[in-house]
Amino acid sequence: MTTQHAPAIQVRGLEKSYGDLSVLRGVDFDVARGSIFALLGSNGAGKTTVVRILSTLLKADAGTAAVDGFDVAAQPAKVREVISLTGQFAAVDEVLSGRENLVLVARLRHQKNPGAIADELLARFSLTEAGGRRVATYSGGMRRRLDIAMSLIGNPSVIFLDEPTTGLDPEARVEVWDTVRDLAGRGTTVLLTTQYLEEAEQLADRIAILHKGRIIVNDTLAELKRLLPPAEVEYVEKQPSLEDVFFAIVGSDA
């Protein structure tokens, strides 16, 4: 494991093709420890491919990537010990209760006192009252919070959230956003992929825009907004939104 000053994630020259389709064309970025890093892009931009490579589910054609100091190609088992991955749809068992889902995962990960772990996570994610209910009765936001809670069993230092609010209503999306902020506040490094501009704007310490297989910008929201001049509306200065920046950078073919 690397020192606390080294990036939690380091990616250099990542390339991936599927037949004649080049999905990643030399992707480079770092993610600071304890930060929320948003990988922003349209459908098909390559966001999920990056996550699958970083989580050892897919091999890159070229380039290198390290998570918590471990090379994803040379040390995949070590990488899997320090990460967790939450996909686009909640991977929970609807027949079981929320607490039973958590206990099951804790046992599968050979954790001591799985019941205590489940109870602590239910409390942390405001699910204690619903813990005894079947997950089939949960709202979309509750299922997603449970899914993220399950992914934290074993205390991973890095968590990948691949479009975590896909299909959620606005209220549930805000619930998930609060959960993600809490993760980073507790020191977990979060790499978030999203196509929702507002999500990146609300959550990320740093935003990288992935377009046609390449990172075309990578900066803080404040710095990205400086790429466009403020608009004046009746002599009142209007700051550009992330949406303005995104479409100015990628053009109308996003």
Confidence of residue 91 (pLDDT cuts 50, 70, 90): confident
Write the CB contacts of 237 (distance below 8 Å, at least 6 apart in sequence). 230, 231
Q: Is the pLDDT at 152 greater than 90, yes or no?
A: no
Does residue 230 contact residue 238 with C-beta atoms inside 8 Å?
yes
Domain ranges of the chain: 9-250
pLDDT for 24? 96
- Distance between CA 172 and CA 135 in Å, rounded? 15
Q: Find the angle CA(138)-CA(144)-CA(146) to the nearest 5 degrees.
A: 75
pLDDT (tens digit per residue) in 205-226: 999 999 999 999 999 999 988 8
Under 8 Å CB-to-CB from 105, ≥6 apart: which residues? 150, 153
Q: What is the CATH number of domain 9-250?
A: 3.40.50.300
| pTM of the entire predicted model | 0.84
- Edge to edge, the sheet with strand 189-194 lists 83-86, 158-162, 189-194, 36-40, 206-211, 214-219
What six digits make up the tokens of 173?
A: 């999306």
